[in-house]
A and B are shown apart, each in its own frame.
Chain A
Amino acid sequence: KTITGVVIEKETDTGMPGVTVVIPGTTTGTVTDMDGNFSLTIDENTTTLQVSFVGMQTQMIQLDARKHYVVMLENESVGLDEVIAVAYGTTKKSSFTGAASVVKGENLTKMQSANLAKSLEGSLAGVQVTQSSGQPGSGGSIIVRGLGSISASKSPLIVLDGVPYEGSLNSIPAQDIENMSVLKDAAANSMYGARGANGVILITTKKGKSGALSINFDSRVGVNSRGVPNYDIVTDPAEYYQLSWEALRNSYLNKYGYAEAGMQASQDLIDNSLIYNVYRGVSNTELIDPFTGMINPNATETKWGNEWATVPFKTGIRQEYNLSLSGGSDMSTYYASFGYLSDEGIIDGSEFERLNARFQIDQKFGSLFKLSGNIAYTGTIQNSAAAGGASQGNLFMFTQSVAPIYPVYLYDLETGEKQYQANGQPAYDYGESTGRPFASLANPVATTKADINDNKADNLTLRGSALFNIIDGLTLTVNGAYDLYFNYMSTFMTPIGGDAQGVGGLGYKTSQRYVSTNYNQLLNYEKTIGSHTVKALLGHESKKNKNNNLSGSMANFYDPYNPEFANATSYRSLTSGYSEYALEGYLSRLEYNFDNKYYLSGSFRRDGTSVFHPDSRWGNFWSTGASWRISQEQWMKEYAFVNDLKLRASYGTQGNDNIGTWYAYEDQYVVADIGGEAGITLNSRGNADLTWEKSENFNVGIETFLFDKLNVSFDYFIKTTRDLLFQYQLPLSEGLPSTQWRNYLDMRNNGVELDMTVHLIKKAGLHWSIGFNALHYKNELLTLPPNKDQNGYSDGSFWRELGGSIYDFYDYKSAGVDAETGKALYYRYEYDHYKNAIITVVDNTEDATFVKTGKSSIPDVTGGVNSQVSYKNFDFSVQTAFQIGGTVMDSNYQSLMGSKVGGNYHRDMLKRWTPRNTNSDVPILSHDYNDINASSDRFYTDASYFNLRNITLGYTLGNQMLSKFHLKSARIYLTGDNLWLKSARKGLDPRQSLNGAVGFNYAAMRTMSVGLSINM
């Protein structure tokens, strides 16, 4: 028989196109047309229909004698009754007393970062993401609700399918994720009490749904380019020669007057300084006019181009394919997926590849017993270019720091003729044969191509659980997890040039086997009597990590392109080690709910960790929470515009033991090989008293849904961290290592976060919503280490005082430039007997003093704005991230405002002090003048930014076409990541760190792709 029907969106009362209607457990089904109508031929035995659409709650329709059915679908995210993952289970959002945010898998899949951490930027309230490198596969660091710790980890605990996960987030493909929950307050977190102080991220992977086999295939192909440009550096050789001449001339002023120094500088500029004269037909000594300092007007034709600006970068290809199959029956469901990702990055030698497979099955055995299993394999190969730091192999540093007169390839300096190797390939210029004064021995284009920096990771995760219904309301769940990570890292520094040429090439290999096992046993009880519902949980958890590693290095490689030790002749080093981490916890939770209006919850957990001494290793963590669904009250019914309203509050404690070492309570020595004898030196200082860092969390929040249009969630939190795991700086005179872990300092983060969504238009065929989230917090020190001056003390480049933040900068304060001499001026603070400051201005850093600058790296607000529009078959979404306030110490800019022979300048150097331009804030340009760019607040820069994270435009194909190919749905889309970054200075990416530091790191990538998704 044939039945017909219409699927209507409940909120808008309009028909929905593209909705899947199937008979569960079969392949029989259809998709609604543009008006939401469907028609399906079924046999007489069919009793149910399943109606589903992405983002909507799936409906099961019981068939009866009717021939026409009206199905109302409800938006999943609108209902407060959605089910969210929480610690050791799931709960309805309405009954949850804690603070949590959820991001759905489909939003994550839009992003093209191979690492989930980066995908979270700007998408969740209370979550801040920094990313130091744009390299494919590289991660970001996530912090939840401010800076939880100083020296210990600030990262949240990652829990994958109920079990803590130790691997990289680049091993979890977004396509496998059903949703990610970020648990933020004590009520939500304390069950992971031991290690939840920095928040918990729960990742839930997809599971099968009973019904017909559903096959999804998604593919996308795109191109990468730089998402952050170079700084505004000098690119014109003439401009560079003029500046470099002046720097040379001024460095001669200690010996000569201006005129003579100028003549000497013109004589020396090429032959005794820069070596390379790019201009054809102009002699080395006549390049710069010694009196005017200007370039010779005949200098027009160059021998080679500005190759460092163009040669190193490429348009890399990114491609990704994912296939998933799911389905099942009432008793058993399954989900299987396969994926492949390949990303070439934007420079050679920075590729990322991922292959992944997952299989998940749920099997019921009657009503008493259920088994689940999840097995996943991910293999990744990441080849990292040496990018980051001051290494001369770092292309992002090199290409901005090298003068625009030096070429990538080797040329005859006189004739400008390009030189070739014996094999016919162009030869690279390492600066060695020519005597290039900048970064000699280095050519990062050649070496990043020839060098290898490979990390092959194989990641196998096995999760199993068994659930027994013991008696009505009482269940026992046993979860087990075995995660195996195998990493094989190979580093090879080529013998053909660069640092390792002298030793015939240098190779390192590290092999690591990391096993993480986790077991928990949970006893759950739930009982409802009238309006009273009680839930209780008792549990035990044990966890162990075991890490084996073996590493070695060899030099002198026979075949210069073969990095294997079989090809090397000179032994360098070999070492191995084994270490373990263990955690054991006992947990309990009690929840009570009256009439679905009033909710109470409480939890207690006791944990021991192997990181600390047996006498200090156990900690107790607890929480309590309450919520009130005001909208359920009778008297609220007259306020019809309030669809839902909930108030909640919680308080509790969590811990942190993540200090990067698994063995912190005893001094550790290392054994070195001294010509065959053992030489032992102290490697780390232990502390037997070291114990848990504890955070106390207070949270009040309100969640509401108004006018059928507006979702708002607003939270106020106070997070106080006590006994911070702090890397205490001993006086250097105690000898190296000069740090020791101690439980010093208390700190508070308090702030507010807002998450709102407005459904602006909900009309037939047209939806438009805008979401906004923001976090503001204040970070404040409450106590200082006992040995330190309680009025404040300096810790490296930060000032620590009560009421100040952990990232308050402490530095020289610039007082501009001396108009007479062009020297940089600084403030000097001295204090008289009454502690009054006597402030003077001095012209060198040796006499200047460090001062509190009053600036901090912590931003005023971070957050994101996003918007989604769907119109008929089109869908369009925009995601952005922003930060307002905060300061970065722009050390990249600082280095470009210095002067060394052959090094490049920022174009702000054109504003430098000269005898004719005495009113400048840029000091006199001279080589050999250390204070020209000495670290000071002169280089502090506003850390605000705005980033267009992602734009996606999709089109869902019409019905007639699809049925011809037996497809349920098909969508083509264009998507672009990291499309635009606006910061205070061109080239500056303030997202690189929390503490205001930046580096010449691998630039964030812009990726634009075209994709196709089909479902059958």
Chain B
Amino acid sequence: CSKDYLDTEYTTGVGEKDLKEIIKDDPSKLKALVDGLYAFMVSYQDGGSHDSFNFTAVLHATDMMCQDISQPVSHYFSWDYLHQYRSAPYIRTAYNWNTFYTLIANANRIIDLVDRDTEDSFFLNCLGETYTIRGMSYLYLIQLYQEVITKETINWNKPGVPIYLADGDSISKEQQEVLKGRNTVEMVLKQAEQDLLLGLKLIDGFDRSTSKRYVNSDVVHGLLARYYLLIQDWDKAAEHSQLARQGYGLMSEKELKSGFLDLSNNEWIWGFDHSNETQTTLVSWFSHISNNSPGYAGILSVREIDYALYQVIPDDDVRKGLFNSPDGMSAEDSVRFESYFETAPNITQELASLKFGWANDWTQDYPYMRAAEMYLIEAEAYAHKGEYAMAAEAIRPLMENRQPGWDMNEVDVEYVYLQRRIELWGEGFSYFDLKRLYRGINRNYTNSNHSISGQISVPAGAKNWVFQIPTREIQDNVHISESEQND
């Protein structure tokens, strides 16, 4: 046979060599790899179960471990709800781990594809998005796999997580290898900060008019605000949160009640706009969080607001209308939601959330970051410093919108935290807030609407709040031994 008889054709994927050539010939095609990062965030893991849908699954699983969501009927995410799913052999910790480390690995591939000395703004912007996603991943990982804060002290020296960097980070292979162990909390936090700051620098001038699914400088500011709030750098937290929300509004009452499913919403800073090709039907965040969609929550396992939290929402707060009362659905809402009763019967349950809606083809968009959160970060930062009046001013635009007639001159951390719980209910913040503020949960109280076996108390600092490193990581990573596992 001829010499090239064994050189076969393969067209189902794109080979590494071809990919490099494609990008060399047309640099704009690098963008597809950056888009791959966003795509992975909303995708699901091979062989995964219906509770594996990457980024929002991490958010929801951690939310379920906290106080504010009640799941009276066992189903997906029940083991999270019952605090029995954090240990090494269980799949949850692997899902969480894989989600962020795959983003990191994919980001590193992009960094290595770009010429280090480039001054082309297209490449720089691509790198800006990429570094931001990598920084965000480290920010989440360290909070999931360590107790970063005990009371008010940051545990800089506790063991952290592996750090993977790219050759393009100008770091030798040997140094890269050394970082694959547990490192320290400080190293991981610094890496997150460094990536986010670099992302901010590189992304300068990036126009994302095509879609808010892309990271731009607003998003980086928002992530930096979250980062500085965690490490208690209150001034920087306030500064970045202000910068992040510039140009964004707040939802009207009508918008607030429109289902949190449209990325074009003026209050949303970052999210993902689902299309027919990207939506994942039952294996999706809306399937589990939206009582209004014919998915797991709507039909099988309702998501309710914690009774005690509901009770402290003032009656004149518009957001109280995002939940059924303990007596069930209001007459007004019954008219509004009537058409859903058959396909999503759980919408009528007592204390059921009405917050998240339904699009006929499961193309509800995912919210990742909203301006409201930035007002809350700013207010909390001031409150931590003891500047309660400043805090009140910072939160005022939000509160006047959500609770017409609101007028307080001073607010403390406790108050802002309560507003966070109300405002961001179900959006994946509660676990990280609990740990940041060193709180526990108590679901066992009079009139508790938690499932009876879910009526547990978990104090701040309990080992439950720290995920164990997945068994397979311990097995396959030579830099981490069994004895380095979290308790």
Contact = CB atoms under 8 A, between A and B. Distances in A.
Interface string B435-449: 000000000100000
B58 to A, nearest CB: 14
Interface in B467-483: 470-473, 475-478
A675 B278 contact: yes
A584 B10 contact: no
Question: Which of A579, A609, A667, A734 has most B Cβ within 10 Å?
Answer: A734
A542 B3 CA distance: 12
Give the dominant DSSP class at A's interface.
mixed
Contact of B12 (A264, A555, A577, A686): A577
Contact of A573 (B98, B277, B456, B477): B277
A578 B11 CA distance: 5
Nearest to A268: B452
Nearest to B294: A502
Given A681-B39, A735-B102, A927-B453, 6 more contacts: A572-B276, A573-B277, A672-B43, A735-B103, A736-B45, A928-B82
B300 interface: yes
A871 B161 CA distance: 77
Contact of B13 (A501, A670, A676, A731): A670
Given A671-B14, A671-B32, A679-B38, A578 B9 contact: yes
B149 interface: no
B63 to A, nearest CB: 19
Contacts of A255: 444, 452, 455
Contacts of B300: 437, 440-441
A736 B277 contact: no
B86 to A, nearest CB: 8
A683 interface: yes
A689 B475 CA distance: 24
B15 A668 contact: yes
Contact of B6 (A432, A502, A608, A730): A608
A846 interface: yes
Interface string B418-461: 00000000000000000000000000100000011111100000
Given A580-B10, A677-B32, A502 B476 contact: no
Contact of B35 (A572, A674, A850, A928): A674
A666 B32 contact: no
Given A502-B343, A731-B473, A675 B478 contact: no
A683 B33 CA distance: 12
Given A264-B452, A787-B478, A930 B1 contact: no
B139 to A, nearest CB: 16
B135 interface: no
A510 to B, nearest CB: 13
Contacts of B16: 666-669, 686
Contacts of B471: 794, 850
Contacts of B211: 675
A673 B32 CA distance: 10
A674 B33 CA distance: 11
A680 B14 contact: yes
Contacts of B103: 735
Contact of A793 (B1, B7, B475): B475
A571 B276 contact: yes
A731 B477 contact: yes
Contacts of B275: 673-676
Interface stretch (B104-112, B198-206, B304-312, B391-399): B104-112
Interface of B: 1, 5-17, 19, 29, 31-33, 35-36, 38-40, 43, 45-46, 73-74, 78-79, 82, 84-85, 87, 89, 94, 97-98, 101-106, 109, 161-162, 164, 180, 211, 213, 273-278, 281-282, 294-295, 299-300, 343, 345, 361-362, 444, 451-456, 470-473, 475-478
Given A254-B456, A667-B15, A682-B106, A542 B1 contact: yes
Contact of A610 (B6, B180, B276): B6
Contact of A731 (B78, B180, B294, B451): B180
Contacts of A683: 13
Interface of A: 251-252, 254-255, 264, 432-433, 435, 437, 440-441, 499, 501-503, 542, 544, 555, 570-573, 577-584, 608-610, 614, 617, 662-663, 666-684, 686, 729-738, 787, 793-796, 845-846, 850, 900-901, 927-928, 930, 935
9 contacts: A499-B282, A667-B15, A675-B277, A679-B39, A682-B105, A686-B15, A735-B105, A737-B46, A901-B73
B1 A251 contact: no
A901 B300 CA distance: 12
Contact of A584 (B6, B74, B278, B472): B6
B472 A729 contact: yes
B33 A680 contact: yes
A733 B162 contact: yes
A729 B10 contact: no
A683 B453 CA distance: 41
A673 B277 contact: yes
Counting from the closest, the 5 A-B pairs by CB-CB distance are A735-B105, A577-B12, A679-B39, A668-B13, A580-B8
A435 B72 CA distance: 13
Nearest to A667: B16
Contacts of B31: 677
Contact of A733 (B35, B89, B97, B281): B97
B162 A609 contact: no
Question: Which of B33, B39, B162, B343 has most A Cβ within 10 Å?
Answer: B39
A949 B1 CA distance: 47
Contacts of B73: 437, 901
Nearest to A250: B453
Contact of A681 (B36, B74, B470): B36
A669 B6 contact: no
Nearest to A499: B282
A683 B455 CA distance: 43
B281 A503 contact: yes
Contacts of B164: 733-735
A245 B306 CA distance: 26
B441 to A, nearest CB: 14
A250 B361 CA distance: 41
A787 B180 CA distance: 14
A676 B5 CA distance: 37
Contacts of A544: 5
Nearest to A572: B276
Contacts of B82: 928, 930
Nearest to A732: B473
Contact of B74 (A672, A793, A901): A901
B452 A251 contact: yes
Contacts of A503: 281, 361-362
Contacts of B345: 432-433, 435
A672 B277 contact: yes
A680 B274 CA distance: 16
Contacts of B32: 671, 677-680
B134 to A, nearest CB: 11
B74 A928 contact: yes
A582 B29 CA distance: 32
A804 B218 CA distance: 57
Contacts of B74: 437, 900-901, 927-928
A617 B6 contact: yes
B278 A674 contact: yes
Contact of B36 (A680, A732, A787): A680
A684 B8 contact: no
Given A584-B5, A667-B16, A845 B38 contact: no
A67 B98 CA distance: 88
Nearest to A502: B294
B300 to A, nearest CB: 5
Contacts of A579: 8-12
Contacts of A608: 6
Contacts of A441: 299-300
A733 B180 contact: yes
A907 to B, nearest CB: 23
B122 to A, nearest CB: 15
A663 B478 CA distance: 29
